[in-house]
Amino acid sequence: MTDALLFEGLKVLDVGSWIAAPTTAAILADLGADVIKVEQPGVGDGYRQYYDLPPSPNSDINYTWALDNRNKRGITLNLKSDAGREILLRLVRESDVYITNQPLPLRREIGLTYEDLAPLNERLIYASLTAYGEEGPERDKEGFDLVAYWSRSGLMNQMRHKGVEPFQAMAGMGDHPTGVALYASIVTALLRRERTGKGGKAHTSLLANGLWSSSCFAQSAWADGDFSEIPGQRLTTALYQAADGRWIQFSMVRKVEDFDKLVIGLGKPEWLADERFVTPELRIEHAEILTGLIREVIATRSSGEWMDALQAEGVPVALVAEFQDLPNDPQVLLNEMATEPAEDIGMARMVRDPINVDGVARVGARSAPQLGEHTDAVLRELGLSDEHILKLHEDGVV
C-alpha cells in the first residue's frame, strides 16, 4: 500500500529555462505538486528545440522536452511588462515554491529577486540556481553545465589520459544532478518551514555541484596534493576494444587473485611467470606494456565471448554500455530507473530521477505542455474574466 502523493497540494512556479532548474520542478511534479511553467510569449524556453539540434540523436519525438517538463502546466507571461509581472506576483502570493535560474542581473532588473518576492509570501520557498554561486565576482555570469559544472570545477581537465587534450562533456550531464541538489535544498527548506512556519531561500550552483562531483580529487587541493602529473591510464580502469567494436572494462583488478583470474580468462597463463608482471608493483611499473598486450588479446574475439569467458573466471569486468542497450537492460527496468508513462507520449518509458522512498507514490509521466497551453485556465483560476484574458493576449502580455 502506498501513501497519497507526497506533494499533492503543493503549488510550484517554474520560472526557469533549459535543464537544471526545470528538472527540479519535474521531480516535484512527479510527486504530485501542481507545477506551472512560465515561458515568454511567442518564444518559449529555448530547450524546446534542443532535441532537434546536433549532436542530439535524431528523432521525430521531442524527447528532451518530454523528459524535463513532464507533468507540468504551461503558461506564457511577458515578465518585462507591468501587467505580466503583476500576474506572476499574484501567483507568487499563492505558491509554495518559486524555482528560477534566471540570471541575477535580469532578476534585479525586473524585480524578481528573493528580496523582492519574500515580503509577498512569508511561507514561500525561493529556489535559486546560478552558474557560479550567489556571491563573488562571478555571481552575475551566465553559464551552462558544459562550462560551469564540467570545466570550471576541474572535471574537464582531470578526465583524460596523458597526452590527450581535454574533451567536452555530454550536454545535461551536470544539469540533471544539479537539479537533484536543488530539489534536496527545496525539501530541506520545506522541512524547516514545517517546523518554523517560515519560508526562505534555497539555492545551489552548477559550480558547487561540479566541485562536489570531483571532490575525491578536488579535496586534495586543500591537502597540498601533488597535481604535477595527470594520472595516466591504469590497468584497473583501462578500456579494451573487442573484435566486434564494443569495449569492455576491467574494474578493481587489484588483488593478486584477481590478476590470476584475469590472465587465465584471457588464455595467457604464461603471463603469471613473466618477470615483468609477477608482483603488483612490477605490473604498475610495466603497466603500458601489459595494457598493450591485453589490448592485442581482447581484439581477437567478440565482446560477448570475452564477457562469458571472463565472468566464468570471476573477473570484475563490465561491458561498456551503449544507449541503445538501455531499453533491454534488466537492471534499469526492474529497478524502475525508466518507467512507463501514464499516457501516450510516443515513448514506451521515461527516464526518471534517482530519488527513491518506499511507500511514496509517483505520478506517471504525462505530456509536457505546449507553449502557453494552460495560460487561460490558470488566469481564470486567478479570477480574471474572459474579456480581461482576451485583452492580455491582444497586448502581448500572455
pLDDT at 1: 36
313 pLDDT above the threshold of 50 = yes
Q: How many CB atoms lie within 10 A of CB 215?
A: 12
Predicted TM-score (pTM) of the model is 0.90
Residue 185 neighbours by CB distance under 10 Å: 19
User: Which own/partner contact pairs does 277-282 have at CB distance under 8 Å and 24+ positions apart?
Assistant: 280/254, 280/256
Bridge partner residues of 111 (DSSP):
none
The rounded distance, in Å, linking the Cα atoms of 2 and 392 is: 43
pLDDT for residue 2 is more than 60: no
How is residue 321 annotated by DSSP?
P
User: Which set of grid coordinates corresponds to residue 305?
Assistant: 565471448
pLDDT of 281 reads 87
Boundaries of every domain in the chain: 11-215+336-394, 239-324
Q: Is-contact 311 317, C-beta < 8 A?
A: yes
Q: Where are the beta strands (DSSP E) in 160-319?
A: 200-205, 239-241, 247-250, 317-319
What's residue 336's pLDDT?
Answer: 94
Region 228-253 average pLDDT: 75
**CATH class in words for 11-215+336-394:** alpha beta
Residues 160-197 pLDDT 10s: 777 788 888 888 999 999 999 999 999 999 999 999 99
Phi/psi at 34 (5° precision): -90, 100
Per residue in 193-217, pLDDT tens? 999 999 999 999 999 999 999 998 8
Q: How far is CA 49 from CA 59, 62, 168, 275, in A?
A: 12, 8, 21, 59
| Pick from 125-129, 130-134, 286-290, 393-397: least confident | 286-290
pLDDT of residue 238: 72
For the beta carbon of residue 140, count every other beta carbon within 10 angstroms: 14
Q: Are 248 and 302 in contact (CB under 8 A)?
A: no
| pLDDT tens for each residue of 347-387 | 999 999 999 999 999 999 999 999 999 999 999 999 999 99
For 239-324, which CATH superfamily applies?
formyl-coa transferase, domain 3 (3.30.1540.10)
Chain segment 70-109, per-residue pLDDT in tens: 999 999 999 999 999 999 999 999 999 999 999 999 999 9
Give percent above pLDDT 70 in the chain.
97
Question: Is the per-residue pLDDT at 229 higher than 60?
Answer: yes
Question: How far is Cα 67 from Cα 62, in angstroms, rounded to an integer?
Answer: 9
Nearest CA to 184 out of 204, 163, 198 is that of 204
Q: What is the pLDDT of residues 237-249, one digit of tens each?
A: 578 999 999 999 9
Q: How many residues does the chain have?
A: 398
Question: By CB neighbour count within 10 A (0-12 exposed, 13-18 middle, 19+ buried), where does 250 fall?
Answer: buried
* Per-residue pLDDT at 372: 96
Confidence of residue 284 (pLDDT cuts 50, 70, 90): confident
What pLDDT score does 234 carry? 44
**pLDDT band at residue 157 using 50, 70 and 90 as cut-offs:** confident
CA 46 to chain centre: 18
